[in-house]
């Protein structure tokens, strides 16, 4: 059974701070990793994807991947109240196909 | 319309009813997915179609029946559902069924089974 674990939160940070969201996965053969943001009552929207070990930056967002530790994280710099949402970590397997296993998500609350 | 659309957005049905959920993608993608999202549970993949052929069926009960008549449309036919089937049903699409292809989600159908 493939598992993706996330702290459910809520993670509370003040506006302007760095929010750090973490995710661990059980399938050592996982190849692709995605972060989605889901506002309450809405559908998930892609924030970032990462395939290789290391860091990947896109604006205020940085994804970090460590395959040896089976760990992926998302950093949000200069957090804004509009970043308040649930962040979903999703991981593919080793089949080469887009079969995603999702974590339960971490709720982020950014206070003004 | 752009992206991935789903209809209806809300559906209330009795356990003896038959209804269908519709998904349409306007992105030129070749793979489409049905997911179920229940409270306090992660998104669960139900079905995957790639080039109109079903390639994944995650042990979903037969009361859920998918149909993919072409690469732009996906249906989920529902019959004799149970109250525990109440959830948000999300459709997604990706360019192809490769693990590097990003999945884009529709707005979902909120289903309530009485």
Each residue's pLDDT tens digit, A25-79: 999 989 999 999 999 989 999 999 999 999 999 999 999 999 999 999 999 999 9
pLDDT above 60 (res B48):
yes
Burial of A2 (0-12, 13-18, 19+ CB in 10 A): middle
β-pairing, A11-14 with A106-111?
parallel
| Closest C-alpha to A87, from A27, A47, A42 | A47
Share of chain B above pLDDT 90, in %: 82
Confidence at residue A71, expressed as pLDDT on a 0 to 100 scale = 96
How far is Cα B19 from Cα A76, in angstroms, rounded to an integer? 42
What integer best gives the mean pLDDT of chain B?
Answer: 93
B98-111 residue pLDDT tens: 888 999 999 999 99
Q: Tell if the CB–CB gap between B45 and A97 is shorter than 8 Å.
A: no
A4 CB-near residues (< 8 Å, 6+ apart): A23, A24, A25, A26, A89, A90, A91, A101, A102, A103, B42
Q: Give yes or no for a contact between B46 and B34, defined as CB atoms under 8 angstroms apart.
A: yes
| H or E stretch covering B76 | strand B73-79
The number of helix segments (H) and strand segments (E) in chain B equals 0, 11
Confidence at residue A96, expressed as pLDDT on a 0 to 100 scale = 81
Confidence at residue B1, expressed as pLDDT on a 0 to 100 scale = 56
Share of chain A above pLDDT 70, in %: 100
CA distance B61 to chain A (A): 19
Q: Chain B contact for A72, CB < 8 A?
A: no
Question: Which of B30, B40, B43 is the mutation pick for testing A, counting most A CBs within 10 A?
Answer: B43
pLDDT above 80 (res B68):
yes
Q: What are φ and ψ of residue B112, in 5° steps?
A: -120, 125
Average pLDDT over residues B58-71: 92
How far is Cα A31 from Cα B99, in angstroms, rounded to an integer? 7
Q: How many beta-carbon contacts under 8 Å exist across A and B?
A: 62
Q: Chain B contact for A98, CB < 8 A?
A: yes
pLDDT above 80 (res B2):
no
pLDDT above 90 (res A90):
yes
Average pLDDT over residues A13-20: 97
Q: Give yes or no for a contact between A4 and A88, defined as CB atoms under 8 angstroms apart.
A: no
| Closest C-alpha to A60, from A9, A2, A8, A15 | A15
A59 CB-near residues (< 8 Å, 6+ apart): none
Residues of B engaging A, defined by a Cβ cutoff of 8 Å: 31, 40-43, 45, 48, 55-56, 90, 94, 96-108
Q: Tell if the CB–CB gap between A97 and B43 is shorter than 8 Å.
A: no
Residue A83 to residues A8, A24, B44, B98, Cα–Cα distance (Å): 16, 22, 24, 29
How far is Cα A65 from Cα A72, in angstroms, rounded to an integer? 4
| Closest C-alpha to B37, from B90, B103, B84, B93 | B90
């Amino acid at each position: 059974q493939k598992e993706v674990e996330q702290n459910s939160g809520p993670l509370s940070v003040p506006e302007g701070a760095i929010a750090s969201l973490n995710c661990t996965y059980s399938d050592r053969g996982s190849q692709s990793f995605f972060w989605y943001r889901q506002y309450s009552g809405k559908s998930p929207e892609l924030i970032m994807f990462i395939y290789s070990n290391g860091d990947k930056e896109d604006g205020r967002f940085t994804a970090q991947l460590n395959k040896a530790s089976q760990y992926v994280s998302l950093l949000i710099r200069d957090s804004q109240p509009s970043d308040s949402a649930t962040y979903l970590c999703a991981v593919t397997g080793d089949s080469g196909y887009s079969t995603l296993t999702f974590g339960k998500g971490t709720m982020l609350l950014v206070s003004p | 319309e752009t992206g991935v659309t789903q209809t209806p957005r809300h559906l209330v049905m009795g356990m003896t009813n038959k209804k269908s959920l519709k998904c349409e993608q306007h992105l030129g993608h070749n793979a489409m997915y049905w997911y179920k999202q229940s409270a306090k549970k992660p998104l669960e993949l139900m079905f995957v179609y790639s080039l109109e052929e079903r390639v994944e069926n995650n042990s979903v009960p037969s009361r859920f029946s998918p149909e993919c008549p072409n690469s732009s449309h996906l249906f989920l036919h529902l019959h004799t559902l149970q109250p525990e089937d109440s959830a948000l049903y999300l459709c997604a699409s990706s360019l192809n069924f490769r693990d590097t292809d990003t999945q884009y989600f529709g707005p979902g159908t909120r289903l309530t089974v009485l």
